[in-house]
A and B are shown apart, each in its own frame.
Chain A
């Protein structure tokens, strides 16, 4: 392992890769601060850039953008009560009241320290957990891989929230359907190309990700007339001190420790991700608090801000475990990273640890740097970065549109791709109006090809019989877990509604008091 850490350090410490972390964190913070654009859109916008980089630098950049965007989302939650993404919604519960009390600086600093600690503790656990898991998974056969893909796909559907499970499963199947367009890699037969040459290569990952997450999100914000809203005015002079007193540090330290480990574990579960982690950590912290402290939640409690901030960063780190070791993304954002890695010729999964140790270790090592950059560089610069929010929306939106469209064009130099992007955006907008989630579709699309290959291999090896599912205990176990996850929504619905009620009650109490 020590050798691996040194390999990772060697790659991550290369000046260019350090630059990537810094640039990624800045770009991510800025994009994450824009209301409506979250980590998924931020990472999607980076894909075209990573095409020109080597895989290690590419994923380092994306990881930097990921943390940056989560942090940026927290910043806008605290300053203007407009969470950039779902995982920072809880941050605004106590962060915004703090800002209203003239303690925005303290809230931002606390958010940054908690993100740093959560991310770092997460990265340390990852350092030990990932190689151990990767070693175990080296013995996997094609049947196990197929079972893993099924697990990944059902998990994402299972964690998609109330009333959304069937919709998420439909979207997963839709993604799998899209993955079958183009030449079949095993037999060479063209499928669903309708005689068009442009479709022989299938629908490109870049195009699909950019259309559904970058273009659609921007167009959706225009459709909701968000560009007509006044630009938020942030009074930089009223930020207040960024220092925390000793008592305050003592108060939040146990919270941070608990939420880090908790967030990481939630993040590791495929499909759960940072949003669920932040909500659950907030609920958990409220339960741990004394009756007197409970009243403070929702009114600017430091612990109420520390818990979700720590948990969402630890969960972001945790979601790299299934990505790096099993090739299954833990969230929509890591799904995009998986696609980008596959496009760069790197196959994440058990073999990544052996075949591309530089990618594997440098990602883990660069996470420390990413957290460090956020703390040392981003925090003091927040007043300046948030000034970018003052760029009028009518100017900013066409620029983002331009970047997403040319991002696709500059890779293929085929204008058909731009028209295809518009077509996919229209479909995605329609599906969003019907409240279908987009991430499962992308996941189905990314995992579709690998799943088909492994299913084919397993079926051919077992002469067409489905025995391979129960012949090996490992395969059977994974399939059983997948089925349990399918029935999880019933259990999680109960659990969620309870913790949700608890959170709502605390917020109401806070407002009432």
Chain B
């Protein structure tokens, strides 16, 4: 049997709907709410059933064409993982070293990952831009950007 994208998608959503339906039971209700025509669990229950029915319908009507198999050829996954990790690191850096420094590091990291190796370009395309954005936000628009925990710990808030 050929397993196509539709089969995988249907199965994933079937599991999701089952899990969603299972956790629907955990939603707390006020005493007597279960006798009300509509309570906090009503819509989630309907959605869980609807999701289940549609997922099964997708699996049953799924294309069985070999061309519809999930093909991961031709995609560059490592670079995507690296970039997404960079975004997560950016979120951590924002808290520790503040907006300006983390922006510069994020941009340099991004350019580097996508193949830019000239140091001059790396710096020119990141530092002035980051300084401009930081200046516009904190000085012109008066938005408070926390200096970063590292600096407040070292030099005091």
Contacts and interface: CB of A to CB of B under 8 A. Distances in A.
B88 interface: yes
Interface string A15-30: 0000000000000000
Nearest to B92: A415
A143 to B, nearest CB: 13
B88 A418 contact: yes
Given A394-B114, A394-B116, A399-B129, A190 B47 contact: no
Interface stretch (A166-174, A271-279, A334-342): A166-174
Nearest to A465: B37
B72 to A, nearest CB: 8
Given A166-B57, A176-B47, A460-B37, A398 B106 contact: yes
Given A219-B84, A425-B84, A429-B80, A187 B58 contact: no
Interface in A287-309: none
Going nearest first, the 6 A-B pairs with the smallest beta carbon separation are: A398-B110, A464-B37, A394-B114, A418-B91, A456-B38, A415-B91
A223 B77 contact: yes
20 contacts: A170-B54, A173-B47, A173-B51, A180-B47, A186-B38, A191-B27, A192-B23, A222-B79, A223-B77, A224-B74, A394-B114, A398-B107, A398-B109, A398-B110, A405-B87, A418-B90, A433-B70, A434-B12, A456-B38, A459-B37
A143 B88 CA distance: 44
Interface residues of B, number: 65
A170 B51 contact: yes
B9 A167 contact: yes
Nearest to A451: B43
Interface string B68-85: 001010111101100110
Contacts of A228: 115
Interface of B: 5-6, 8-9, 12-13, 16-17, 20, 23, 27-30, 33, 36-40, 42-44, 47, 50-51, 54-55, 57-58, 61, 63, 70, 72, 74-77, 79-80, 83-84, 87-88, 90-92, 94-95, 103, 106-107, 109-111, 114-116, 121, 125, 129, 133, 137, 143, 146
A422 interface: yes
A418 B76 contact: no
A131 B74 CA distance: 51
A268 to B, nearest CB: 28
A455 interface: yes
B13 A174 contact: yes
Interface in A399-424: 399, 401-402, 405-406, 409-410, 413, 415, 418-419, 421-422
Given A410-B137, A455-B43, A418 B87 contact: yes
Contact of B40 (A184, A402, A415, A465): A184
B76 A186 contact: no
B70 A434 contact: yes
Nearest to A225: B76
Contacts of A395: 111, 116, 121, 125
Nearest to B72: A433
Contact of B80 (A169, A222, A415, A419): A222
B94 A177 contact: no
Contacts of B63: 163
A435 interface: yes
Nearest to A405: B87
B58 A166 contact: yes
Given A219-B80, A402-B107, 16 more contacts: A166-B57, A170-B51, A177-B47, A186-B38, A187-B33, A187-B40, A189-B40, A222-B114, A402-B106, A405-B90, A409-B94, A415-B95, A426-B84, A456-B38, A459-B38, A460-B37
A169 B61 CA distance: 14
A496 interface: no
A439 B115 CA distance: 32
Nearest to B96: A415
Given A223-B77, A402-B103, A189 B28 contact: yes
A166 B40 contact: no
B50 A173 contact: yes
Interface in A186-224: 186-187, 189-192, 219, 222-224
A464 B37 CA distance: 4
Q: Which interface residue of A174, A177, A190, A222 has the most chain B CB atoms within 10 A? A: A177
Contacts of B44: 177, 180, 191-192
A400 to B, nearest CB: 10
Contacts of B114: 222, 227, 393-394, 397-398
A57 to B, nearest CB: 16
Interface in A132-185: 163, 166-167, 169-170, 173-174, 176-177, 180, 184
Contacts of A405: 87, 90-91
Contacts of B13: 170, 174
A223 B40 contact: no
Contact of A224 (B27, B75, B95, B103): B75
B100 to A, nearest CB: 12
A173 B92 CA distance: 33
A227 B103 CA distance: 21
Interface string A363-400: 00000000000000000000000000000111101110
